[in-house]
Each structure stands twice: as C-alpha cells, then as structure tokens.
Amino acid sequence: MKYLNFQFLKAIILPGLIFQSVVIAGGYATGRELVEFFLSNGPRAGMYGMLVATVVWSLVLATSLEFARLTKSSDYRTFFKHLLGPAWFLYEIVYIITIVLILSVIGSAAGILLSDMLNTPPFFGTIFLIVIIGLLTFFGTKLIEKVLASWSLLLYAVYISFLILGFTKFSGAIESSFSLPAENTAWVGDGIKYASYNLAIIPTILFCMRHITSRQQAITGGLIGGVLAILPGILFYLVLVGFYPAVLSEAVPINFILAAMGIPIFQLIFQIVIFGTFIETGTALLHALNERIAVTYEEKSQHMPVYLRPAVAVVTMVIAVFVSDRIGLINLIAQGYVLLTYLFLAVFVIPLFTIGLYKIIKFKTA
C-alpha cells in the first residue's frame, strides 16, 4: 500500500515539477514576462490574468497527459503523429522557433544578470551559459534529470524567502498597489497569451508518462501541475506589484527589486538561483531536441555521436544569441511571444481540444 501511495504521489506531482523546471526561465525568472503580460494591465488585473493562465495550464496539461497515456506517447513526435497525423511536423517547426526565441531571452538575460553580479561585460554571462549547457547536454539524461529535480526544490525555497522578505520590507507599497482598481479587461487575453506560448513545453516533458497508469492520475497530475508551475511566479508577482509603475520599464525587473531590498547575500543567492534556471530551461529544451535527433539515428539503426549533442546545443545557442542581440530582450518578449501564442493555438491547443478530446472521450475510462 505504501508503495502504491508513493507511486500515485509521484504520478500526480512529477509532471508539474518538471513543467515548472522547464518553463520558468522563459516564463517568469527575470520578471520581464510578468511585467509584459500582467503588471502592464495594473496590479489587480495582472493577478486576475495569472489566475487565467493557471486555469489554461492545468486544463491543457491534464488533457495532454491523458491523451499521451491513451496513445502511449512518451515523446513529442509520437504524440503529434496521433494528434495531427501526417501534419505532425508542423509542431516541430514551431518548436524549433520556440527554442530559438526562449534561448534568445535567457541568453540575453543571463548576460545582463551576470554583468550586474560581477560587473563583467554582458557577453561573458552569455558565453558562460552556453558552456554549461553544452557540458550538461554532453553528459546526457541522468545528470540532466538530477539537475532539474534538485534545482526545482532549491528554487521553491528561495522564492518563498523572497516573498517573506518582500512583504517585510515593502508591504505598504504592495498593499497600496493592490488597492488600485482594475482599469480594463485586457488581462483575460493576456493571461491566455502568456499561458499559450508556454504550452509548447508540455509535449517535451512526456518522458514522465512512465509513472502515469490511469486516467485519474493523468487528470489529477495535470490539474495540480498547472498550479505547481505558476506558484513561484505568483510569489514573485506579489512582490513585483510593490514597485509599480516604476518597474514597467526595467529590462530585468528582478535586479531592480533585489537592489531595492538591500540585502547583498540574499541578492547573490537569488541571482545564482535565477542563473541556474536559465541553465535548467536551456538544457531541457536542447536535450529534447537532441533526443529527437537521436530517434532519427535509431530509426536508421545508428547511434547519435556523443560529440553531436553539445555541438547541437552550442550552435543553437549561438544562433539564439545573435537573434537576441539584433532584436533586444524587451522586443523579443513583447513581439515574439505573441507570435508563438497564435502558432501554438493552431498546431497544438485547438487540435488537442477537438481531435484529442474526441479520442479521449471515445475511450472508456481506465
């Protein structure tokens, strides 16, 4: 009985933890995304938007896990072959665009973050990020899984500490900001947009499907997973509103807030953890791409060369950094993420809640 309970707990908790660990750097680690999609509408309206995003994440994750369970899909290509048939490759095209965009964001943010920490040129932080990601992808799945799991636990602890310190120092400003009325209803659309571009990650975390054996586990794990994924972002947002509206123009809001806290040791710890999330997300995205390439080699009865894994990672990162340098962090988030929203609605969300949901309902409850 204890074994079964542990297995059930792993099945319903693990998807959310993995989703959170992959989505964070491109989702809310720097705070810029929270400003762009939520706080820009006002503190109270922004919180409403985050609740909308949570509901979207939970519903899509639950539906995806159950569809993956029924179709025995543990990788994104198998998943989309069942969902889109011959058009499955459309997701892969959009996914590659997503990789470049998100890596552009974290590459730029990493350079800015390390520059603020050590007073180094921004390119130094970006190069350091590329090197670490290259090493992790070289050593492969086992090490990557350990890094994702351990860093996620550390991240929750640090974000909770961040919330406590934030309310201790800025509770008056936070309460004042939340007293402002919600001036518009744009938060509904922005919450959906924010949730939608992050949905790209879900089909890349399907390796956790081996722990899910029933419809109850899939749906429960998905619903809880959306909450687990957004929770650190909500903790961050609660402190962020205390700096409204001055923080709206900050490229990396987290640095602005940490400086205002005036606690050097915590600032250093938090910045290290945030930098780790850049590594975490970048590694996970590129590892998924490597695994996709490895499948192609296996279909030809060949093994993917070991050197090719870090090579793919480094080349992709370099391309992303070039894109970031040409466009800029704020424009990337404001414009690029909106584009991804519509692409993923077309190739993932709409098919999932039409074709996918029809197939789920058609099957008997397991």
pLDDT in tens, the chain (366 residues): 444 466 777 778 888 888 887 887 666 877 888 998 999 999 999 999 999 999 999 999 999 999 999 998 888 888 999 999 999 989 888 888 778 777 877 777 788 778 877 788 877 888 888 888 888 888 766 677 677 767 777 888 888 999 999 999 999 999 998 888 766 788 999 998 888 878 878 888 887 787 888 899 999 999 999 999 999 899 999 999 999 988 988 877 888 898 899 888 988 888 888 888 888 788 878 877 887 788 778 878 888 888 888 888 888 888 877 766 666 655 655 566 677 778 888 899 999 999 999 999 887 655
Residues 6+ apart with CB under 8 A from 142: none
Tokens 């990601």, located at residue: 133
The verdict on domain 2-362 having CATH code 1.20.1730.10 is yes
Domain boundaries of the chain, sorted by first residue: 2-362
Q: For residues 16, 22, 23 and 26, what is the CA-based torsion angle, rounded to 10 degrees?
A: 170
CB 213 within 8 A of CB 358: no
The reported pTM is 0.81
Distances from the Cα of 75 to the Cαs of 197, 304, 325, in angstroms?
Answer: 19, 17, 32
Q: Can you give the C-alpha Rg of the chain in angstroms?
A: 20
